[in-house]
């Protein structure tokens, strides 16, 4: 879903949830069409493994289906869906606590044709993206979650705080520490800051 979606999208999301509450499977399909890819992207970077990400999205969306009748509209539908998927991811993470994390690779490596104009830039771009993924995967869940919600999923501060169940002030503090840690980790992997020329 477009992170800048306006009130019309939210109204139709709420209408879909109301239809889900009445057992309308087609409405649920529409909700999945709108939000499924983004929720899966978030889960793939939040859960400890690829299978866990799929299971967490399934658990979360089924919980949303079952709980549609209790949705009171105090938050946006999008925020609510992220909440239920995040809780499912955390449950999976707790079950696997102590095991090494193996976050899902969210994209297959892209081929870079040799000799093509701009190939170096594309290689650098791929290296930066891989470094960011690796750095995120190595961080504590609390730091990773807030970075994903704010900087990848494009949520506002208030929305991210709501998904995380913390105050906006606490979210901002966590976000800042997370960004500082991410910077250090990415620089350690790349040997330089993103955007700087390779040393």
Partner 1 sequence: MTTIRDEKVVAGLRCGQVLDRLSDYLDDGLPAPERDRVEAHLRGCEGCARFGGAFRDTVRALREHLTSRQVVMPRSLRDRLRRAIDSRVR
Instruction: Please report, as ranges, the residues that interact with partner 1 according to CB under 8 A.
Output: 23, 25, 28-29, 32, 36-37, 39-41, 44-45, 54, 57-58, 61-62, 65-66, 106-107, 125, 128-129, 132-133, 147, 151-152, 154, 157, 172, 175-176, 179-180, 182-183, 186-187, 193-196
- Give CA torsion, residues 147, 151, 153, 159, to 10 deg: 80
Q: How far is the CB of 157 from partner 1 (least distance, A)?
A: 7
Query: Which residue lies nearer to partner 1 by CB, 16 or 61?
Result: 61
Distance CA 89, CA 126 (A): 27
Q: Which is nearer to partner 1, 14 or 172 (CB)?
A: 172
CB of 57 or CB of 161, closer to partner 1: 57
Question: Residue 149 class from Cβ within 10 Å (0-12 exposed, 13-18 middle, 19+ buried)?
Answer: buried
Integer Cα distance of 21 and 70 in angstroms: 8
Q: How far is CA 101 from CA 39, 46, 97, 140, 195, in A?
A: 19, 10, 9, 11, 28
Residue closer to partner 1 (CB basis): 11 or 191: 191
Q: How far is the CB of 128 from partner 1 (least distance, A)?
A: 5
Distance CA 6, CA 19 (A): 20
> Nearest distance from residue 170's CB to partner 1, in Å?
13
Measured on CA atoms in the order 43, 177, 151, 14, is the torsion positive or negative? positive
- Whole-number minimum distance, CB 195 to partner 1, in Å? 4
Question: Which of 29/99 has CB closer to partner 1?
Answer: 29
Axis-axis angle for helices 119-137, 25-46 (nearest 10): 90
Task: Please report how close the Cβ of residue 79 comes to partner 1 at its closest, in angstroms.
Answer: 18
- Residue 78 Cβ vs partner 1, minimum distance, rounded to whole Å: 15
Q: Which is nearer to partner 1, 95 or 176 (CB)?
A: 176
């Amino acid at each position: 879903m477009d992170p800048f979606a306006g009130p019309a999208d939210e109204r139709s999301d709420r209408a879909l949830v109301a239809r889900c509450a009445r057992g309308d499977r087609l409405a649920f399909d529409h909700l999945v069409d709108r939000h499924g890819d983004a929720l899966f992207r978030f889960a793939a970077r939040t859960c400890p493994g690829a299978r866990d990400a799929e299971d967490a999205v399934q658990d979360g969306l089924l919980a949303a289906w079952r709980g549609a009748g209790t949705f009171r509209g105090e938050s946006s539908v999008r925020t609510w869906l992220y909440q239920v998927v995040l809780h499912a991811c955390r449950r999976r993470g707790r079950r696997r606590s102590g095991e090494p994390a193996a976050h899902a690779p969210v994209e297959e490596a892209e081929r870079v044709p040799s000799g093509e104009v701009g190939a170096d830039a594309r290689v650098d771009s791929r290296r930066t993206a891989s470094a960011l993924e690796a750095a995120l995967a190595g961080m504590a869940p609390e730091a990773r979650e807030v970075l994903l919600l704010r900087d990848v999923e494009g949520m506002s501060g208030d929305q991210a705080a709501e998904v995380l169940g913390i105050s906006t002030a606490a979210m901002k503090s966590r976000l800042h520490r997370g960004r500082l840690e991410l910077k250090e980790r990415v620089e350690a992997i790349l040997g330089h800051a993103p955007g700087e020329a390779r040393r």
